[in-house]
Each structure stands twice: as structure tokens, then as C-alpha cells.
Amino acid sequence: MPRRILIFFTSELKGVVQSAFLLAFAGFVADILALLRDRLLAAEFGASRSLDIYYVSFRVPDFIYTVSLFFAASTALIPMLLEKFSEDEKKAQDFLGNIFSLFLIAVILLVVIAYFAMPLFIDFAAPGFSAAERSEVILLSRILLLSPLLLGLSNLISSVVQSFRRFYVYALSPVLYNIGIIIGI
């Protein structure tokens, strides 16, 4: 059984329509789960400062993730990767290694800077919290600084997988992300 599941998720999609349908359906499911996630958060915490702290804590890590997408943009990476693989597999592997290294160095640098500058970022991004709330936002934001690194690596890996016409794992990642948060609530 596990082998069949693995074969299913690593199978290549041949047609554009099939791939587009899979991605659209997974996006729809992810959006429904995001709605459920937000409803569960609202039911659990209500319109409270705790929920405000939770949402504000994501601002800086999400911004870093958005900036890191510049390094891992699949729309630019996939064509270059396909070109490299068509020329020489060794060159393509070297290219991938360089991209991953550059990404890791850049994001780790951004994360380290953000970790130490978090109090300044929070004062700018979310003024109006008490000293205790501000400390909590800073702590949670620092913990969440792992997300740009992990999500960015996931995006890079997804680009590689997509270049080989394997879309199942890529399509499921936002679904699993929302399921993980729902389970955590």
C-alpha cells in the first residue's frame, strides 16, 4: 500500500489540462481549509489580543518569505533547469546546488538580521501593543523565522519536481500546511 501511494505521488502528469485541473482543485481545497482554519482560530480565540498577537507575529516572517521567493521563483527556475538538464545532467545538478546554496545563505542572513532587529520591525509593523504583548509578538515572530527557510526550501524543491511534470506533492503542500495549523489549534 505505501508503495502504491508513493508511485501515485511521484507519477508524471502528461497533459497541461490534467496538471492545471490538479493544481486548481488542490488550490480550491487549500482555500476551503484556510477558511476553516480562520474560523477555528476565531472560534477558539475570538476577537482578542491573543489572536492579534498571533496574526502580527507572522508579518515579518511572511515578508522575509516573500522576499526569499525572489531567489526561488519557480517561474524563472523551471525553464533554466529544463535547459540545463537538456544540455548536461551534471551541469544541471551543479546549477541546482548553486541555487540551493545561494538561497540558504541569503535566507539565513535575512533571518539572522531579522532575529536581532525584530524589536524594531515590530514597532514599525504593529505599533500599539503593551510592553508584555510586544514581548510576546517578538518571541513568536522569532520562532516563526524558521518558516521562511522551510517554506523557501519547499518552494525550491517544488520547482525541481515541477520541472519533471510531477505536480502532486506541489499541489498538496498548501493543503498540508493548512491541515497542520488546523491540527495545532
Is residue 15 scored above 80 in pLDDT? no
pTM of the model: 0.76
The predicted structure's pLDDT at residue 166:
82
Query: What does the block give as the cell for 103?
Result: 538561497
Residues whose CB falls within 8 Å of the CB of residue 148, separated by 6 or more in sequence, listed in order: 61, 62, 64, 65, 68, 107, 110, 111
What residue type is 102 in one-letter code?
L
Q: Which of 32, 41, 9 is nearest to 183 (CA)?
A: 41
Measure the CA–CA gap between 27 and 179, rounded to whole angstroms.
13
Measure the CA–CA gap between 17 and 19, rounded to whole angstroms.
5
Mean pLDDT of 77-84: 80
Rounded to a whole number, what is the distance in angstroms from the first to the last CA of the chain?
Answer: 30
Tell me the Cα Rg of the chain: 19
pLDDT band at residue 6, thresholds of 50, 70 and 90? low
Q: What pLDDT digit, counting tens, does each position of 114-169 carry?
A: 999 999 999 888 888 899 999 999 999 999 999 988 888 888 888 888 888 888 88
Measure the CA–CA gap between 71 and 47, rounded to whole angstroms.
37
